[in-house]
Amino acid sequence: MEKIKYLAPQLINKMQHILKNLPILIIALILSSNINADQKVEHKIAVLVNESVITSYDIIQRMKLTAITQGININEQNNQSIVNNVVDELIREKVKIEKINEYKITVEEEEYLEYEANFFLRNNINQSQISILLIENNVDYQELKDYLINELSWSKLISGLYQRFTSVSELEINELLSKNPNLTINQAKSLVIQRQLDLQSSKLLRDIMNEATIEYK
């Protein structure tokens, strides 16, 4: 697989007033020294996942998206680690999409908009400022939208497959409430159910990953 090289960090101050005056470092990522960061990177195949392709361009775009949405300062020390994490994430995403398509899971626009709003809220992100940063770093907003749609679709798949098998005991509720007295009973029930669904999600993902054919180029 072609290695993504570190260029140089560029300090971005436009989110200072929005994100508690915390600057975000965004770097330009390129595949070779003769490619300008503002140019469209050649789509070299980096990984084959069953019949799906992950290109070097996909990896770069996801690294940029991760840096922007998570406020990560990518540097020479953590660059390769982040590359590896992004590749693993994209591989998992590919096998999830196959299963999502198998069950014909769809997302309505209203569902997506609610999920997107919750994503920004949970991560304390200002949507308009993120949109600006995506444009400045040559990342199409559709990259973020596709990522969120895939996450929501997987969540719907897991709920559809396993929700009816979940159960909540009084002991589990009381244990949660003792640790988190501000929770309501309904919130505690939801957390218990979500934990069970998360376990089923991990198991299903592990199974389909074991069955997948993954080839690194």
The per-residue pLDDT for range 153-185, each reduced to its tens digit, is: 999 999 999 999 999 999 999 999 999 999 999
If one compares 85 and 7, the residue with the highest pLDDT of the two is 85
Q: Which of 1-5, 36-40, 46-50, 170-174 has the lowest mean pLDDT?
A: 1-5
CA distance 30 to 139: 14
Closest CA to 119 of 86, 88, 155: 155
* pTM, to two decimals: 0.79
Residue percentage of the chain with pLDDT more than 90: 65
Residue 72's pLDDT is what? Answer: 84
- Cα–Cα distance, 16 to 124 (Å, whole number): 13
- Per-residue pLDDT, 71: 86
Pull the structure tokens for residue 149. 């749609």
Query: Which has more pLDDT, 79 or 210?
Result: 210
Express each pLDDT in 94-132 by its tens digit: 999 999 999 999 999 999 999 999 999 998 899 998 999
N residues, the chain: 217
Amino acid at 147: Y
Task: Give, to the nearest 10 degrees, the angle between helix 79-102 and helix 56-70.
Answer: 100
Neighbouring residues of 153: CB distance < 8 A, sequence distance ≥ 6: 96, 97, 100, 105, 106, 107
Query: What are 4-20's pLDDT values in tens digits?
Result: 333 223 323 322 222 23
Looking at per-residue pLDDT, the higher value among 137 and 7 belongs to: 137
Asked if the model's pLDDT at residue 50 lies above 70, the reply is yes
Q: Per-residue confidence at 21, pLDDT binned at 50, 70, 90?
A: very low
Going along the chain from its start, the domains and CATH numbers come out as: 5-216 (1.10.4030.10)
pLDDT given at position 42: 58
Q: Which residue has the tokens 């940063």?
A: 133
Which pLDDT does position 75 carry in this prediction?
79
